[in-house]
Structure 1
């Protein structure tokens, strides 16, 4: 076994809660998980999902309820037996959605989001045992709630999100996580993908870049810094693909501006989850803000550089030993704001991470 396989992601120790004992009959037809709404948070549930899957009795299933944009993500993970996508992440459930969850005939539910609304809906499905974090006054509706320390602004906190999810899994009797992550299945064969995408994703020495972040500008390293980093990669024989949502196309254009034709491509808004998984698996290195793509790249086995600004790297760093995190601690960081509130020299936490620092980190990572 290689050293790379043996390396375990450093996510700290999960808090320990009393273990809930189940009878075989308690499971009914399985366990259903309500996923978080963000891709990055959903990726961080994977260690817990894997450990829960290992304890599910024979002939029982592991089911997931998720928002529509995460359906293909969970369908790409073989340990998930069935996925139900809600019509919206935040709107009221439809009666047919309550009925779909009811018809799973699960005996146990775990809520990996903090929604009071979803807790009510899960109660309406008739699932008898529902577990989740203490949040928003919903404790009385949970079979068992788990209280975690609140994040403190301007301080680095020690509890990683993946450890929180694992703590819940451990409290249900799951075995300790060994550092492995679930495999991903190919949802879309190459012949069903756009020919230009297949060509780009197959290029040698491919650097993928995630220059956006849905949360806000305070998580986005400057596009011109990404541009200089990509320029270094191109000058050394590499190719570049910028990834992101349709809203991040303009950022992608800035990242590849002035780079050699035929070596840099803006794929923002042009890839679905299946294609993201495909290209991130083939990428030699990924440079990313704290984003869903960062977490997905780490989960599929890629290596990369994670750039943090307003958020806490000890809580949401990539769940991988193949990634290097860059973070410059300012007095106000992590602030968790969508935009910097400083009137003078805003976004210092991001601008202190210069392209030369990222390039140096890339060179160090590729030597390993």
Structure 2
């Protein structure tokens, strides 16, 4: 198997969860070149994977077919003569490019009318009995091997920080006189929705307590452009302007990976940045609300999960269907600080 193409998932956390699949494929086919076709917002994850030969950036847009773009990419990919392609998203449109490019083995889960587009398929697990995401992606490798026992069962994702991103953030920190030794990263966003976001006043109180504990502690708020407002709210509520820095929406994902890699600890919701922290083995506290830590936990021995396991959770809803959000509100800043201190 000389050439393998991966069609990447569209969520950062899911992309991190695919790294063990890449590692296993590299073990199965050590002489193969593994390339990844990824949307531009997910591509930095694969640049941090040592198994990847080339990342092909695709300017996909959510919920759009972009037929002409897919045809152009298929033409480019056809010239690379891949022998196999793993289509990791479940959508119909994600399976179009490898089919158009005539890749012989097109591997993925059944779903969304993909019969024929995918020619080596596994049944999609039910939503009630879903395996952890790493196992979900890893299982696809069984379609290219006879020995089922050879599939590793307990692999954890691993990422590497690029030297360019490392230099970039070190320069930024140096300019602001922020020492990395006392740097805490807060990730207050969660793309999925409000039911995954710990309240801003709780983040602000935790920031105050960390600074009271040690006056040299510095806090950087990380996230995308959509997280700028809630990050600013936290910074304002904490009222510690010289110690709290809102970098949401102002860093690239490559830089965010580098920052998380050098932090003393990360405090986050269940989000893509949580999975990045786990893959970099940075000490972290992960706060869960509407989602299930059994399905998408931070896979690291340096991670602690806080989840109240209320009767109404996990509901997997974007907003609290009961209107109270107790699964997150009842996790106190003091509880998170105490957990942080056990790291």
TM above 0.5, one fold?
yes
> What CA RMSD, in Å, does the superposition of the two structures yield over aligned residues?
2.1
Q: Deviations over 1:279-313 (max 9, x none)?
A: 11111110000111111111112120111111111
Q: Give the TM-score of the pair, scaled to structure 2.
A: 0.89
1:359 — aligned with what?
A: 337
1:97 to 60, 69, 73: 73
The answer as to 2:299 corresponding to 1:326 is no
Displacement of 1:182: 3.9
Displacement of 1:136: 1.5
Q: Counterparts in 2 of 1:170-319, with a 5 A limit?
A: 170-173=142-145, 175-176=151-152, 179=155, 181-186=157-162, 188=164, 192=168, 195-199=171-175, 202-237=179-214, 238-257=217-236, 258-319=238-299
The answer as to 2:97 corresponding to 1:121 is yes
Q: Counterparts in 2 of 1:40-59, with a 5 A limit?
A: 40-58=13-31
Contact 2:83 2:103 survives alignment (8 Å): yes
C-alpha separation in 1, matches of 2:113 and 2:312? 30
Displacement of 1:142: 2.0
C-alpha separation in 2, matches of 1:135 and 1:312? 23
Q: Which runs of 5+ in 2 are unaligned?
A: none
The alpha-carbon distance between structure 1 residues 232 and 170, as it changes in their structure 2 partners (threshold 3 A), is farther
1:142 — aligned with what?
A: 118
Contact 2:225 2:248 survives alignment (8 Å): yes
Q: Deviations over 1:185-211 (max 9, x none)?
A: 415255555844445664322110000
1:66 — aligned with what?
A: 38
Question: What secondary structure, in the 3-state scheme, does the structure 1 residue paired with 2:181 have?
Answer: coil
1:81 — aligned with what?
A: 53
Q: Deviations over 1:87-129 (max 9, x none)?
A: 1144324122111221221100111110111213321111010
2:134 — aligned with what?
A: 162
Higher relative contact order (CA 8 A, sep 6+): 1
Question: What secondary structure, in the 3-state scheme, does the structure 1 residue paired with 2:42 have?
Answer: helix
